[in-house]
Every structure is written in C-alpha cells, then in structure tokens.
A and B are shown apart, each in its own frame.
Chain A
C-alpha cells in the first residue's frame, strides 16, 4: 500500500504543479475548466495506451523508442508553452483589461487555452503512464490485495491533488497586475526545463551526444531526489548534474522565448508593457 501511495503521489505531484500553474494562468478565460479537464482526460487515456504498448515502444528505433517518445512529447510541450507565452505577450493586455467578454478575445483565448490543455495532457501522460505500469505490475504479480493498492493509490492521488490546489491558490494570491508577469516567467522556465529534460532523453537515445559532459554536481546541496529538488525539477528544470548541452539548450529556450515575447508585443500606446496594463 505504501509503495502505491508513494509512487502515485510522486507522479501526481509533478503533474499537479503543472495543472495548478495552468489553472492560474487561465483563470480569466471562460470554460477553462473544461479544457483542463479535457487535457487531464486525454492524458490519462494516453497514459493507458503508452503503458499498454510499453514493450513495443521500448523496442522501437533500435531500442530507443521510449527515449525518443519522451523527448518528442516534451518537445511538444515546450512548443505549446512558448507559443502561449508569445501569444499572451500580444493579447494579454486585452484579457487583463477585462475585455474578455468581447467575442474576439474569447475566441483568441480559446486557441491559447488549447495549447495549455495539450501541455496538461502531456504532463499527465508522462507521469500517468508510469503510475499505470507500476500499479498494473503490482496487481498482476504479487497477488497483493487490490483493495490495499487501490487505497494507497487513492491517498497518493488526493495528496497530489492537494499540491495542485496549493499551487493554484498560492498563485492566485499574487495581485492581478503582477500575475501575468509572474506566470509568463514561470512558463518560460517550465519550457526551458522541459527542453533540457528532452536533451537528456536525446542523449540517451544516441541522437544528441555532443557536449554530454557534466558541468557541475550540486547533489550535496540539493538532490534531484529530494522533494524540493523534484519540485524545482518540474518548475524550472533543476537538475543536480547538468550537461553542457542541457545548459546550452536551457539558456537558448529562455532567450528565444523572451526575444519572441518582445518582438510580438503590441507596439504600444503610452502604457507599453502588458504587465503595466491597468
């Protein structure tokens, strides 16, 4: 039971942080609940599929199928997050200025919401497939009582959902006019972190082995395995032993995001930044 609790909590925790951020980012957009729920449902369905075909996936591409799959879905999430940030740099002001009732803003809000729903789906898919595999493994083998495993999993799920709620309500405490700036920054770091995780998978798959040396080791200070390390890993891509390539791609993703946000920001009236709009 405890094993099920720990594994489920750990995975739901990581996905929950991302869902919490997305909920906070989209708080002004109508119908966001449906989109996020759809993302979660899609992610869960995908997780079951991935777990079901785990062996096929693993053998694909000369044994690198799993790594390439992980890198690909992380890449998709990076694209969606970046696109959302750039879109918000352009239209965030309209939303912030309570123009969301206007038909145009609502329609535009939806397309950005779709990108974030995909991010939620990808997060749930990645973490969920491990949970499904693990729980299925326990049930199939040890003949351990299903009720016990179920109870453990449920407690893990509730605790993980609690983290999600904590993230959401924590972010909502940020005053409205700073929320946009804060969440944009969080999303940029989220994307950079995911890009650097994708690099690790590509290296494992032999696709991107250049600059694979480990630059520093801060595991003595903050281990990836600790709960804070894990939270920072999800939020900003913290890893205690980054490679040169991971750092390069991390900085590149951040840099490109900020440049694009600047380029696509609306040429402005007196109040320039969307952040300052109010």
Chain B
C-alpha cells in the first residue's frame, strides 16, 4: 500500500508534465477498416506528445497495442478512441491489433 503512496507522490511531483505535453502535442488519424490499418504507415514529428486518434469502422472490437510505444487500448466496434504516446526519438515504431495480430502498422517518427 505504501507502494501506491509512493506512486501517488511521484505522480504529484510530475503534475507539471501533462499541461506542457498537451500543449505541444500533435494528432494523427488512424482508421481500422476491414481488419486493416489505414494508413498502415503513420508519420509524426519527434520529441512531441503524439495523440493517435483511432477510428474503428469495423463491427468487431480491436485493441491497438504497441510494445515500443507502450500503448494498449481496446476500441470497441464502430467507435473511436485516442491513444497518447511519446515524446519519441526518431525511428520506426510498430503497432498491431491485439485481437487480430495479422493487422500491423508502423509509426515513423522523424
């Protein structure tokens, strides 16, 4: 339970973070249709908070997941959600649909 307390303290210390990050964030769009990411290749700038706006047009739920982006988010059928990642160094970051792992995409940060 003190572990959580520690977590809360650390969280409190970093309150300044969010506002700043939000200010410098960019939004990219990602559509899921017929079990495919569109586009399969996203582009975003480095060193900025990135908001990925995921629109699921399929009648099945999907889970946007990425190890390198540290993101996992269920997007239910025919709905949308936002996934916040970064700030990131330039490079390629893979993501996939955890409910349908053949569906993969890449975020290119430059």
For A136, list chain B residues within 8 Å (CB): 61
Complex: A256 Cα to B10 Cα, angstroms:
14
> By the criterion CB–CB under 8 Å, are B7 and A204 in contact?
no
Provided the pairs A78-B4, A138-B60 are in contact, do residues A210 and B13 lie with their beta carbons within 8 angstroms? yes
Provided the pairs A83-B1, A210-B13 are in contact, do residues A198 and B7 lie with their beta carbons within 8 angstroms? yes
Q: Does A234 contact B (CB under 8 A)?
A: no
Q: Is the interface of A mostly helix, strand, loop or mixed?
A: helix
Complex: A278 Cα to B85 Cα, angstroms:
52
Provided the pairs A54-B61, A130-B63, A208-B11 are in contact, do residues A66 and B3 lie with their beta carbons within 8 angstroms? no
Query: How many interface residues does chain B have, given as a range?
Result: 35 or more
> By the criterion CB–CB under 8 Å, are B3 and A204 in contact?
no
Chain B residue with Cβ nearest A219: B67
> By the criterion CB–CB under 8 Å, are A208 and B4 in contact?
no
> By the criterion CB–CB under 8 Å, are A58 and B77 in contact?
no
For A219, list chain B residues within 8 Å (CB): 67-68
For A63, list chain B residues within 8 Å (CB): 81-82
Q: Does B29 contact A (CB under 8 A)?
A: no
Provided the pairs A204-B84, A206-B84 are in contact, do residues A137 and B3 lie with their beta carbons within 8 angstroms? no
Complex: A78 Cα to B61 Cα, angstroms:
29
For B100, list chain A residues within 8 Å (CB): 3
Q: Does B59 contact A (CB under 8 A)?
A: yes
Provided the pairs A137-B60, A137-B77 are in contact, do residues A82 and B2 lie with their beta carbons within 8 angstroms? yes
Task: Give 19 A-B contacts (CB < 8 Å), ordered by A residue.
Answer: A3-B100, A58-B79, A67-B73, A75-B4, A79-B3, A82-B3, A137-B77, A140-B60, A141-B59, A141-B60, A202-B11, A206-B49, A208-B11, A209-B49, A210-B10, A223-B67, A224-B67, A243-B70, A252-B7
List B residues at the A interface (Cβ < 8 Å): 1-4, 6-7, 10-11, 13-14, 17-18, 21-22, 49, 58-61, 63, 67-68, 70-77, 79, 81-85, 87, 99-100
